[in-house]
Each structure stands twice: as structure tokens, then as C-alpha cells.
Structure 1
Amino acid sequence: MDELVAILDEDNHVTGSVPRSVMRRDNLRHMATGVVVRNPAGDIYVHRRTPIKDVYPGRYDFTAGGVVVAGEVPYDAVVRELDEELGISGVELIRLPEGDYADDNTRYHAYLYTCVWDGPVKHQPEEVEWGDWMSPAELVAKLDEWSFMPDAVGLLGSYIRNLTINEGWDSEAWYDGPWIYRKPRRPEVRPRLLAETTLLPWLAPQLPLPVPAPERTTDGVRHLMLPGSPFTDGGTAIGRQLGAFLMALHAVDPSEAVAHGAQDAETAFVAKTRTLDEFRAQVVPLLPTDVHAEASALLDRVARVRTSLIHCDFGPDHILMTGDRVTGIIDWSDAEVGDPALDLCWVLNGAPAAVAAGVTEVYEPSPELVGRAKDWARLSPWYGVHRGLLLDRPDDVDTGLGEILTQL
């Protein structure tokens, strides 16, 4: 049916209406809608348009929506299109910033929304021929591989890309409003990720700094964002805060921590031994012969200490700051009963000298602990070489080997 479409001037005032076919033929400026549909796990619904669509037939899209007909309110158009295209109704629509799009095929002012839907999706056969859920990271990758609607990418591409946080080795993460979602990249990571939902609520009251309060989702966990940005600089006062935090963390009852989800000492030892053995077999032979003994001794010194609950990845990316205050410690999926020197590694050897001084003042680490923290710092480039060998990245291997020699 050649429905009437409201036509706009450049100031978004309605100047009249014409049949849809005329709007397309003359590429007249009009109103259109788009809504990004997500599920409770944060995935985005992606679909492919049918070959009979009047503009961009057969292309992929990550929005539902369409043209606003004459006399229709944009919000009503969003509700109608969402129901018609995907069979979704009765959801709360959250407004996104409006936008303008123009190319040789279409020109319009866009009213944009997002929503969360946990029910079935029912395609309108005339408009949608395929659809599936994708994580934000998966969709971002497909934007460079598949032929997507250029208007959707132009209007909402940056929004989609901003949903994805830097990808971790073990999990992918993305923002959705005030929430951070995390999803395991491999099945074996899932138990450790889910353990945060039992460990952190028990641990939080025992710590002097905030930690997340994760809850389970369909594919992983989510938690409300803590305020602040990753650490970039700080002084002695920051060091004192971190020192007090690590003292409290390392003083909790390890057996109770294991009961609440932390990885136990034996399991952690087996995993760490496996990694160190791979370092011996794969990395040491790549080093000059005259440093083999020192390299092996370094691996021996960090091999067996398992005494305290540790964060296990305590570095600047996981320390949130607001001004001169630490406002959160995040990313606890590696928490285990292990060597407290590993948590001291960065704060004593990589952080600014004033931060290290503040940590030392409060924590008062023994000379043995300081020495092992230095050993863990020396091991840092070994992980880069190991990963470079695993992923066949020779440049990473060469760079890491140079850093290992400097550390030794």
C-alpha cells in the first residue's frame, strides 16, 4: 500500500505529505525511527532485510524501525514498527539521541531508542528473512565483514562500538546504561566468572575500598558500574589506601574465601605450575644459554607460595580513581589462594615511587615478600612471549624476549 509519508524541511518542520513511492523517487526528507533491541544478557538482535525492501534490500541491520507515516507521532511509529517487524510489544523504550542521515537513497531525521526484550522474536516475513542475537563484540566484528544498513551504522555505529569495553583474554565486556556486562570467551572461564557472584558479596564488608556486587545473567555476570577511571597517577595517599586494602584482603580467612568461590590453593598451584612448566619448556630455550640457570631459578622462586586470598591481577586497569581517592577495585575472576607478593608486584615495582612508598608504609612487607614481588615483575614479559608463541605473533615474542633479558 502506497501510504502517505510526512515530509520535513531542514529544520524538522512538517511541510506536507506525499505517497511513500514519491518520497523514495525524489529522496525527500522525512522522519524515521530505529530501536536497538537487547536481551537481559546485553546481546543485540541482528537481522537481515528481505530482497523486496524498497531501500537497501538484503542488507543486515541491528535496528528495528521504519518511516513515520503522515499524522503519526514518532513514538507511536517506534511501537508499531517494533511489533510489526519483530513481534515485540509492551517494552520500555529508552530514548537515545536523535540524529540526521542522508545519502543518495534516503534522507531523514531519526528518532532512536533502545529496549530490553527477553521473549520470543517473531519476524514479519515481508521485511525480515533472518535474525539472531549477537554480543556487542560479535556485532562490532561483523560491522567490518557484513553489508549493513549504512544509515544504522552512521547513526548508531559509535553507540554499538561504545558498548564494548576493551576485550580481555578471558571475557568480553560491554556497557549498558549503568551496568557492566561480562561474558566468558571460553567455556572454562565461566565458573571463575560466576564465582564473583558469591565471593564478592562475602568479601566486600571486610575490605576498606569498594568492590563490585555482581549478579548472574544468562551468559555471565553483570554489576553496576563503580565510579571513577582507571589509575593513571597518584601519590603517597593513594599508596596508603592501596596498602590498607591489600593488608585487609590478604588477612581474610583463605578457607572461608574458598567456600565462597575463590580458587583453592591446590587448584591454583596446579594451574600456575602448568604455566611455569610451559615457560621452562617454551621460553627458556629461546634465551641465550648463559642465562638459562638464572631464568630457571626465577621460576623456582615463585613456584610454591600459596598463603593468602589474592586479587591475582592487581594493576592500574583494575584500580578506579576519582580525584585523589580510590573508588573501586574491579575484575575479580582470577581471585585465588596464592602468593600475596603477586598483588604487590605492580604497586611496588610499576607504580609511581610515591605510591610504592605509601603501600610500603602501611603494608610493611617483609624483605622476602618484596623480593618475590620483584620476581613476579620480572616474570611479566614471560606471559607476553608465551601468548606470542600461542597466537603465532613473532614480533611479540621478539619484544618479550628482549624485555626478559633486561629483567634478568
Structure 2
Amino acid sequence: MDELVALLDDNNRVVGSAPRSVMRRDNLRHSATGVVVRNSAGDIYVHRRTPTKDVYPSRYDFAAGGVVAAGEEPFHAVVRELEEELGIAGVELTRLPEGDYADENTRYHAYLYTCMWDGPVRHQPEEVAWGAWMSPAELVAKFDEWEFMPDTVGLLGSYVRNLTIGEGWDSHAWAEGPWLHRAPRRPEIWPRLLAEVTLLPWLAPQLPLPVPAPELTVDGVRHLMLPGEPLTGGDVEAGRALGAFLKALHSVDPTEAVVYGALDAATATAAKTAELEEFRQQIVPLLPAEVQDQAGQLLDRVAQVRTSLIHCDFGPEHILTVDGRITGIIDWTDAVIGDPALDLCWPLNGAPEAVRTGVLEVYRPTPDLVERSKDWARLSPWYGVHRGLRLDLADEVRNGLREIRDRL
């Protein structure tokens, strides 16, 4: 049906109506709605429009909404569109600032909201082709990779980007005076946050660079903020400092580390074995036949070594610096008895050459350790493919498989 749409003047007053087809044809100014749907973990529901939509077909979107019909109150349109598009009803809607958008395809005044929903999502088949929950950080990363609705990004992109401040895969974070607070995003993260309260105070005196000293709060942990910004670039001196830090970390007593809260080797091995088995069953068959044996051998090799306390997520985003000087190492949620080569993966295979040189000079890894760090680098794209298969992201799977093949 060619529904009647309310038309607006430049002061957002209703001045008449027109059939939807005419509104689109002449790009007449109208009003529309948008709702960002989040769950209690902080994720945002992202969907892809069907190819039959009359504007921006097959684009990705992170707001449910549509045009306001003639004679319809904007809030009623918000409620209607949310239920029609995603099957969500009976939720409390929180108003966001209104906005205006205009391009060669559409011109409208937007009534914007957000809501929280942990129930099932039911797509309207005529409008939604695919959907999945994504963290704000994951969504923002996709802004440059996927074709999104330009109006949604223009109107709500800054709102989503602001949500990424303090958002991690494992925990929410927020500042309060000199303190940084963290609360788990998922129940299974609680034990790991609690472990930091005992592990890091024991570990800190044994390390040449500062680490947080968390203490327990009602909803998580907090620690005094370390100064600095994530590492960008880096010179030989930075590499030497990282080499000394990793050498000290990997030399602590692993048995004592477990007593103070590090994830023990048996538990970590069980979790890693299950993950690698999923890689073996789901990803290896998708690779070209000529590299499948190499892929299986890679999975075998990375499963073998559990000898040292490791950071387990050692990359530039967790290395703080001020004026090129390293001021601290953060985010210890994944600390585990594992393969020290995993901590060396980025310093030896992804860092600037000057940083790599400094790390090698001080750490002096064995040839076997260097080769295993390359194995961990080869494994990196497998995680993206695994996620793409889980969320039915065909482009991510295809590009990841190509990268796996090239690295093998």
C-alpha cells in the first residue's frame, strides 16, 4: 500500500501529506523515527535491510524505525516501527536528542530513542534480512568496513562512539575522580575480575613496569588510573622496556601465580582445546585442500605449551605511554598459565621494527619461542572467521579464510 506520509516545513510543522512514493520521488521533507536497541550486556542490535527497501536497500543499520504516517503522533510511530520491524513491544523508551538529516535520497526530522531488551528479536521479513548483537566497539569498527545507512550514522554515530569509551569485550569501565571502575559485561567474567584483586598486588613488585592494583567494589573492581595513552609507534628503548617486562613476567613462579588467582594450566587448556576443536571442525574444511594439513598442524602446535604466567592479550592498546615512555600495562583479565610465545606475538610480529629490535635484545627468546610467536600470529585471523561463522557474516568469513590461507 502507498501509505500517506506527513510532510514538514523547515520548522518541523506538519504542512500536509503525500503518498510515500511521491515523497521518495520528490525527496519531500518528512519526519521519521529511530530506536537504538541495547541488551543488558550493553550490546547493540545490528541488522541488514532487505534488497526491496525503497531507500538504501541491503544497507546495514543499528536503529529500528521508519517514516511517521499522516495523522500519526511521532511517539506512536516509534512504538509501532519497533514492534513491526524487530518484534519488540512493551519496553521503556529513553529519548535521545532529535536531529535533522538530508541527502539526495531523503530529507527528514528524526525522533530518536534507545531502549533495553533481552528478549527474542523477531524480524519483519519484508524489511530485515539479517540481525545480530554487537558490542559498541565492534559496531564502530564496522563503520569503515560495511555499508551502513548514512542517515543513521550521521544522526546516531556519535552516540554509539561515546558508548565505546570504557567499553571492552569483557567489562564496562568508567572514571570516578582518580579511580577507574570496571564491572563485568557477562557473568563468567566476575571470577576473572576478582582474581585481579589478589594476583596483581602480588605480581606488581616483581615487574619493572607499573600494573594496576585493583580493589573490590560492590559491582566489580576499581584501581587508581595509570597515566598515559595506548602505545602508537615506539622506539628501541620502548622495545627494551617491553622485553624486560615480559622476561620478568614469564619468570615468576607459575605455581604461586595460580595460588594468587591466575587461571591454572589445566582449566586454560580445557578451554583452549574446546576452542581449537571448533576451529578444526568448522574452519579447516572451508580451506583449500592443499593447506588443510598445514592448518591442522598449526592447531596442534599452539595447543602444546603451558609453562609461564602470561598477560594473554599483550598488544599496543594495553601498553600505556607518556611522551614515548611506557607508564604501565593494563587489562589483566585473561592472565593465565600459558605459552609465553603468545605474549611475544605482537612484539615480534606486529610491532614497529625498532620495538622488535629492543625486545629481542633484552628478552633473548630461543628460536623455538620465536617460531611459536609466528604460529600465534598465523592463528590471528581464525578468530575473525570463527566469529563470522557464528554471526553469519559472509564477508568476514570470506576475507578471513583468504588471510588464513596466505599466512599458512
**Partner of 1:191 in structure 2?**
191
Shift of 1:170: 2.1
Tell me, in whole angstroms, the C-alpha distance in 1 between the residues paired with 2:239 and 2:338: 22
Q: 1:327 to 1:282 in 2, by over 3 A?
A: same
- Deviation track 1:205-259 (CA, whole Å, cap 9, x = no partner) reads 0000000111122222122211010011111110000000000000000011000
Say which one has the larger Rg: 1
Whether contact under 8 Å (1:164, 1:173) holds in the other structure is: no
Question: Where does 1:10-159 land on structure 2 (aligned, <5 Å)?
Answer: 60=94
- Deviation track 1:15-36 (CA, whole Å, cap 9, x = no partner) reads xxxxxxxxxxxxxxxxxxxxxx
**Partner of 1:281 in structure 2?**
281
Shift of 1:59: 7.9
- Deviation track 1:103-147 (CA, whole Å, cap 9, x = no partner) reads 9xxxxxxxxxxxxxxxxxxxxxxxxxxxx9xxxx99xx9xxxxxx
Shift of 1:305: 0.3
Equivalent residue of 2:168, what SS? Answer: coil
Tell me, in whole angstroms, the C-alpha distance in 2 between the residues paired with 1:380 and 1:403: 9
**Partner of 2:271 in structure 1?**
271
Equivalent residue of 2:174, what SS? Answer: strand
Shift of 1:381: 0.5
Equivalent residue of 2:359, what SS? Answer: helix
**Partner of 2:209 in structure 1?**
209
Equivalent residue of 2:283, what SS? Answer: helix
- Deviation track 1:259-310 (CA, whole Å, cap 9, x = no partner) reads 0000001111111111111110111111111110000011111111000000
- Give the counterpart letter for 1:342 in structure 2: L
**Partner of 1:226 in structure 2?**
226
Calculate the aligned-residue CA RMSD, in Å. 2.8
Tell me, in whole angstroms, the C-alpha distance in 1 between the residues paired with 2:391 and 2:182: 23
User: Normalised by the size of structure 1, how large is the TM-score?
Assistant: 0.61
**Partner of 1:175 in structure 2?**
175
Shift of 1:388: 1.4
**Partner of 1:390 in structure 2?**
390
Q: 1:286 to 1:163 in 2, by over 3 A?
A: closer
Unaligned residue ranges in structure 1 (runs of 5+) = 1-57, 63-100, 104-131, 142-156
Whether contact under 8 Å (1:163, 1:175) holds in the other structure is: no
Tell me, in whole angstroms, the C-alpha distance in 2 between the residues paired with 1:381 and 1:321: 28
Tell me, in whole angstroms, the C-alpha distance in 1 between the residues paired with 2:393 and 2:404: 17
Tell me, in whole angstroms, the C-alpha distance in 2 between the residues paired with 1:170 and 1:59: 26
Q: 1:187 to 1:61 in 2, by over 3 A?
A: same
- Give the counterpart letter for 1:243 in structure 2: G
Shift of 1:390: 1.7
- Give the counterpart letter for 1:263 in structure 2: L
Whether contact under 8 Å (1:346, 1:377) holds in the other structure is: yes
Equivalent residue of 1:202, what SS? Answer: helix
Tell me, in whole angstroms, the C-alpha distance in 2 between the residues paired with 1:406 and 1:235: 29
- Bigger Cα displacement from structure 2, 287-296 vs 385-394: 385-394
Whether contact under 8 Å (1:165, 1:175) holds in the other structure is: no
User: Normalised by the size of structure 2, how large is the TM-score?
Assistant: 0.61
- Give the counterpart letter for 2:393 in structure 1: R
Aligned length: 265
